[in-house]
Structure 1
Amino acid sequence: MQTLKRLKTFVCFFLILALMVPATQAKAFIFSEFTITDEAELGTKVHSLIRSNYHVVQDPEITSYIQDIASRLEKAAPPQPFPLQVDVVEDRSLNAMATVAGYMVLFSGMITRMETESELASIMSHELGHITQRHVARNIERSQKISAGALLGILAGALVGAEAGETMAVGSMAGAQSAFLSYSREDEREADHVGMNYLIEAGYNPKGMVSAMQKIRRLQFFSGGDIPSYMSTHPGVDERISYLRNRIERLDDELLKREDDNTRLYRVQTLLRARHDDPSKALEHFRKQSEHECLANLGMGIANSRMNRVRDAEQNFEKLLSISDQDPLFLREAGRFYFQYDRLDKAGELLQKAAMLNPDDSLALLFYARVLAEKGDTDTAISYFRETLKKMPENSRVHEFMARTYGEQGDNFMAHTHMAYAHIYNNQRSRADFHMDRVRAAAQTAEQEKKVKELEKAYEQRVQFWKKTS
């Protein structure tokens, strides 16, 4: 009921937003031709919309892997006006979609259900096909008369449909309230065709696209509403699978012998299941995972920790580190566990080592900074928080930890500044307003006034997507 209530509130909000665009203002946004500038502006808003209403995964172990696949596919495609950017949303729905301006969204359920990297890459290559062929942009151009506010409202309706379990089409905008955002059968087939070209050019086994589509169709019998409605209601799916099979039969046998290195996929799936699925179900899954002992212990350690089964979790992490004490991911997760239970010396040792072995792991650096802050070394902690923010500028928790550390130093201006950012990126309007008032009151220097303007800009980018009750 809470999900349904939130859905209704959210949809009503965006309908009001669309209707509130004045006629005189709407004319300025009517897309007789949907230009690259128009697409860039809308893309920024869609990006903010997604991040304002979904939990976007910010674990660099996960995001770097997905972005590496995206970059590999992007190199296989023709040059595009926008770089390909992928957000991973924490949601068990078997879903993926392309939006505008190079933005793509993968739901975590899609990642955990794929068996090979080629299957996952095939989903992304299909989405990339929609992007490179500008299917959404062309449909917007055909609409001729639609305001930016109304368009954003329709996109919002499509996105919240996925949240409510009425998941959208794989690569489509099914569930949107207007036909001009729906992909035609020709669009889907074209995305299949060019997507397979990108998949092959990127070095993947093209059979991954067929097996991924078959897997999604098969899962509909077991998952009910937890799969895209597209796979059961959109006409021509079997025809498309048959078309792809025929293409594959004509390919060089060497292409079909390509093997996947699924090492990183399994690591990412372990993290997504352990951190974001129901912990008891995740624990049951990892107990059966005998072929990957390290990942099984990693997953069980995280799941047991989430269930406050401290002794079991510690045993899992001790066994994990006894097998491999040089893997930065294993060190990071063990360090997080020990930090959670106030074993600061042990946590600091593991997290420092993890950060040294993998300098790109902003989470390892974040938790090491927290250890230092707890030990009273606030200056060093703040320097590491700053480094973390360079890689995760919209992470509300980093801003909150910085705010508390500045507060311990007595720097009220910076404390309120980062607490305001924390609430902005956590979609808490009233609390953000409170701290922004304190920031404005405390600003005295030109540099502080500059920080106020930067804060206000971040606020304005997000506030338009918040519910009135936030």
Structure 2
Amino acid sequence: MPNRDRMTSRWLRFAAVAAASLALLARPAAAQQILRDAETEAFMADMSAPLVQAAGMEPRNVQVLVINDPNINAFVAGGQYVWVHSGLIAAADNVNQVQGVVAHELGHIEGGHVIRYGEGMKEATGITLLSLVLGAAAIAAGGAEAGMGILGMGQQAAMGKFLAFSRAQESSADLAGARYLSKAGVSGKGSLEFFKKLQNQEYRLAIPQDDSYGRTHPLSGERINVLREVYTVDPAWDKPMDPKLEARFERIKAKLVGFVSEPSQTLLRYPESDQSLPAHYARAYAWHKSAYPDKALAEVDALLAAAPHDPYFLELKGQVLLESGKPADAIPPLREAVQLTNQPLIATLLGHALIATENDANFAEAEKVLRNAIARDRENPFAWYQLGVVYEHRGDLPRAALATAERYSMMGEDQMALRSADAAMQGLKPGTVDYLRAQDIAMVSRAAVEQKRKKR
């Protein structure tokens, strides 16, 4: 009897691990570093707008954002957000390939697939729990070997059920994406080309190509065969890419490679012999990362020689100057970039430069610039940090604490957000807008802190 009890306990733990494995499989990717960049976000919005409209959604409500991850992937994880890995952009040959990926992810949003993942999980978990009960009963009755078999088959059946559910969602998103591309008048060639890239990756990893059972996604070859029949008969199949959009993509890709890659890799990919604008862009970031500001500025000046009033070239010049210890010199190009775009991320950089001069005369402008930036984009922790510095400089400690509370709240640092919000309320007049905002942050943060404490 003691041995049988231990066997039952062992398989109870096994079944619990099996259920946990299903939960992990369904869980979206963990939080990763978001790459906030004014030019990239503007490009992503313009590139995806026709597809978003074709999917029946409002472009202003859908965001396509880039995260720093070298893997070739994209995903949705709730809300109307499409997350694209930096590795995917670096691997894409043209803008049409990225549009194909975004169209597929929009299919997941329209289909409510993130929410419906729970349906697949519920059914698979039900199979696991049933096999747990039957297996444990068999073990308790003395049939240890039979019980082990029931549990093993139950786990396999549950996993297979969930994987089949996931593959069905992927196939549905493929076809939905094809509809959006067609309605938007965008060719599906890029979509097929990208699936061929994924297929080549499967070949390199020696993934069997005869059956997609056991995978969350259908095999790329299976997807290509289905989509080829849809895309090749579409009126947009032979439609060329927008040359202006493609030129913008090449710039985005180059600056992203320069920002996330090792400088030596960037310089191999974009050698000095390449005098194109994207190559100058990439090398500017590579030299800046390597702490060669003069070489970085030479590349930026080459860009500005071709386009003297390009706001993003001006932004880069200001960034290089600021981060190499010349904040006063950074102000003029950043001012012009803000005037040309009214872009909050660039405005935040200008505010930083004004503060970094440590010149009292610049703090009033810094406050104005930063308050305007936050009014257009509240989800910017660094802007709140800089605004807090301005408030502290002028002795307004309650509002400095409130700005700090905003920053910590966005960063998920609930304990620090609570402390800062409480400190702000001590000095703010009750009933004012700022007091009520501090109160809201304190209430939400306190609840989050208590919830975490209960889970320990």
Give the TM bin, normalised by the shorter chain: 0.7 to 0.9
Question: Do the aligned partners of residues 204 and 251 (structure 1) sit closer, same or farther apart at CA in structure 2, a change above 3 Å counting?
Answer: closer
Quote the offset at 1:94 in angstroms: 1.0
Q: Distance in 1 between matches of 2:448 and 2:162?
A: 27
Matched, 1:351 2:334: yes
Q: Distance in 1 between matches of 2:447 and 2:185?
A: 39
Q: Which residue of 1 aligns with 2:390?
A: 405
Matched, 1:251 2:234: yes
Quote the offset at 1:73 in angstroms: 0.6
Matched, 1:450 2:417: no
Whether the aligned pair in 2 keeps the contact of 1:57 and 1:88 (CA below 8 Å) is yes
Matched, 1:326 2:309: yes
Q: Secondary structure at the match of 1:287?
A: coil
Whether the aligned pair in 1 keeps the contact of 2:113 and 2:169 (CA below 8 Å) is yes
Matched, 1:53 2:53: no
Q: Distance in 2 between matches of 1:123 and 1:464?
A: 40
Quote the offset at 1:107 in angstroms: 1.4
Whether the aligned pair in 2 keeps the contact of 1:400 and 1:422 (CA below 8 Å) is yes
Q: Distance in 2 between matches of 1:241 and 1:224?
A: 18
Counterparts in 2 of 1:8-407, with a 5 A limit? Answer: 53-78=31-56, 83-141=61-119, 180=162, 183-220=165-202, 233=215, 234-252=217-235, 255-261=237-243, 262-287=246-271, 290=274, 293-359=276-342, 361-373=343-355, 374=357, 375-376=359-360, 377-407=362-392
Q: Secondary structure at the match of 1:243?
A: helix
Quote the offset at 1:295 in angstroms: 2.4
- For residue 279 of structure 2, what is the amino acid of its counterpart? A
Q: Distance in 2 between matches of 1:288 and 1:421?
A: 44
Q: Secondary structure at the match of 1:446?
A: coil
Q: Deviations over 1:375-432 (max 9, x none)?
A: 3221221111011113331222111111111111111011111122223333445543
Question: Do the aligned partners of residues 244 and 53 (structure 1) sit closer, same or farther apart at CA in structure 2, a change above 3 Å counting?
Answer: closer
Q: Distance in 2 between matches of 1:224 and 1:61?
A: 38
Q: Distance in 1 between matches of 2:163 and 2:303?
A: 48
Q: Secondary structure at the match of 2:84?
A: strand
Q: Distance in 1 between matches of 2:327 and 2:206?
A: 45
Quote the offset at 1:212 in angstroms: 0.8
Q: Distance in 2 between matches of 1:394 and 1:58?
A: 11
- For residue 128 of structure 1, what is the amino acid of its counterpart? L
Unaligned runs of 5+ in 1: 1-11, 19-45, 148-175
Quote the offset at 1:345 in angstroms: 3.6
Quote the offset at 1:258 in angstroms: 2.3
- For residue 443 of structure 1, what is the amino acid of its counterpart? L
- For residue 179 of structure 2, what is the amino acid of its counterpart? N
Q: Secondary structure at the match of 2:66?
A: strand
Q: Distance in 2 between matches of 1:54 and 1:73?
A: 25
Q: Secondary structure at the match of 2:325?
A: coil
Q: Distance in 2 between matches of 1:145 and 1:232?
A: 17
Q: Deviations over 1:420-467 (max 9, x none)?
A: 222333344554344334223333442142131233256469769989
Whether the aligned pair in 2 keeps the contact of 1:70 and 1:124 (CA below 8 Å) is yes
Q: Which residue of 2 aligns with 1:152?
A: none
Whether the aligned pair in 2 keeps the contact of 1:216 and 1:231 (CA below 8 Å) is no
Q: Deviations over 1:93-117 (max 9, x none)?
A: 1111133343322112112211111
Q: Secondary structure at the match of 1:53?
A: coil
Report the TM-score, using the length of structure 2 for normalisation: 0.74
Quote the offset at 1:299 in angstroms: 1.9
Quote the offset at 1:219 in angstroms: 3.8
Quote the offset at 1:61 in angstroms: 1.2
Q: Distance in 2 between matches of 1:191 and 1:140?
A: 17
Q: Distance in 1 between matches of 2:170 and 2:256?
A: 29
Question: Do the aligned partners of residues 111 and 246 (structure 1) sit closer, same or farther apart at CA in structure 2, a change above 3 Å counting?
Answer: same
Counterparts in 2 of 1:432-443, with a 5 A limit? Answer: 432-443=417-428
The structure number with the bigger radius of gyration is 2
Matched, 1:416 2:401: yes
Question: Do the aligned partners of residues 434 and 135 (structure 1) sit closer, same or farther apart at CA in structure 2, a change above 3 Å counting?
Answer: closer
Question: Do the aligned partners of residues 288 and 181 (structure 1) sit closer, same or farther apart at CA in structure 2, a change above 3 Å counting?
Answer: farther
Unaligned runs of 5+ in 2: 1-16, 126-157
Q: Deviations over 1:304-333 (max 9, x none)?
A: 112211222222223322332111110110
Whether the aligned pair in 2 keeps the contact of 1:140 and 1:181 (CA below 8 Å) is no
- For residue 317 of structure 1, what is the amino acid of its counterpart? V
Name the structure, 1 or 2, with higher relative contact order (CA <8 Å, separation 6+).
Answer: 1
Q: Which residue of 2 aligns with 1:43?
A: none
- For residue 285 of structure 1, what is the amino acid of its counterpart? R
- For residue 198 of structure 2, what is the amino acid of its counterpart? I
Quote the offset at 1:255 in angstroms: 3.2
Q: Distance in 1 between matches of 2:273 and 2:446?
A: 47
Task: Percent identity, please.
Answer: 22
Q: Secondary structure at the match of 1:105?
A: strand
